[in-house]
Structure 1
Amino acid sequence: MMSLPLEFDINGIKACQRNRHPLLFVDRVFDVIPGERASGLKCFSYNEWFFPAHFDDEPNVPGFIQVESLVQTFIMSFLSKEELRGKKTNFLSIDNVKFKRKIVPGDTLTIHATLKSLRRGIATGSAASFVGDAPACSADFVVAIPDILDQFKPKGAA
């Protein structure tokens, strides 16, 4: 029997991953198939802490925040698995980052992330975001789950 995709509000997201305000950049996650995929939403209002400094005459979302929104949705594709909820994650690599449009106050990013593999505490995959139907940002990720990865490291190696 196939189960329905999962959905997480902000409290559910916080139960799965360790990001917190002011560095939590996904508001809702939906269409989650643990171990396969996740989609998320991030609504940007002018009240975000970074807009006055980036930039007061033309506010837009900094690139690192766009990438962080992507990866926070991506990690939900595996941290939504019961046995991985709340685990710490670390970037190993970010590749093929592409910015297609400026994100401004009032925009809502819809993010779609796909997990390609999860082996020995290393997750690989990609995510892409959109404002409406217009592509906004995309990237490929390799993310570690240190608690699991450490089990496979050689013991006593210098």
Structure 2
Amino acid sequence: MELNFEQIREILPHRSPFLLIDRVTDLVPGESAEAVKCVSGNEPFFQGHFPEKAVMPGVLILEALAQTGAVAILSLPENEGKLAFFGGVKNCRFRRQVVPGDVLNLRCYLTRMRGSVGFGEVEATVDGETAVTGEISFAIGEV
């Protein structure tokens, strides 16, 4: 299943400039999601990170990965209208810089749920080259 920008906005509460995924290219509710972020030189964070050499902050790549995972878990009917709160990051590795013009491919595979707490494996790539890998945790909560 694919989702366009407006459909993503129906699931996630994030709005510009903090909605960091443009399109969901594959979605299996409750299991996995793949998304795309087209990195533009006009992103507000590039004004300060870094003025002489624009590099997407690693924490924002992690946030984009978390938003991808949030789409996977919040697309389940029982989670409609709820929020997914970032719980933690483990084994995170930054392997490549992400710069303006890159198309960031984001993947999150949900590995387990324990009550309202979930875990997922994440990976971000650019042109088939790994940019970030790690594991995330999150908690499902009410609005």
Q: Gaps spanning 5+ residues in structure 2: where?
A: none
- 1:100 correspondence with 2:101: no
Aligned-residue CA RMSD (Å): 1.1
Which residue does the alignment assign to 1:146? 141
8 Å CA contact 1:74, 1:126 repeated in 2: no
The residue number in structure 2 matching 1:156 is: none
Compute the TM-score of the two structures, normalised by the length of structure 2: 0.94
Q: Which residue number in structure 1 is paired with residue 59 of structure 2?
A: 64
Q: Which residue of structure 1 aligns with residue 37 of structure 2?
A: 42
Deviant stretches of 4+, over 2 Å: none
Q: CA deviation at 1:20?
A: 1.3
Is the CA contact 1:35–1:81 (under 8 Å) kept in the aligned structure 2? yes
Higher percent of residues as strand: 2
Q: 1:127 aligns with which of 122, 134, 137?
A: 122
114-123 or 127-136, which deviates more: 114-123
Deviation at 1:71, TM superposition (A): 0.6
SS, match of residue 44 in structure 2? coil
Shift of 1:84: 1.3
Picking from 36, 48, 53, the partner of 1:53 is: 48
Shift of 1:61: 0.2
Quick check: which has more Rg, 1 or 2? 1
Gaps of 5+ in 1: 1-5, 148-158
* Structure 2 CA distance for aligned equivalents of residues 46 and 12 of structure 1: 25
Q: Normalising by structure 1, report the TM-score.
A: 0.85
Identical counterparts, % of pairs = 35
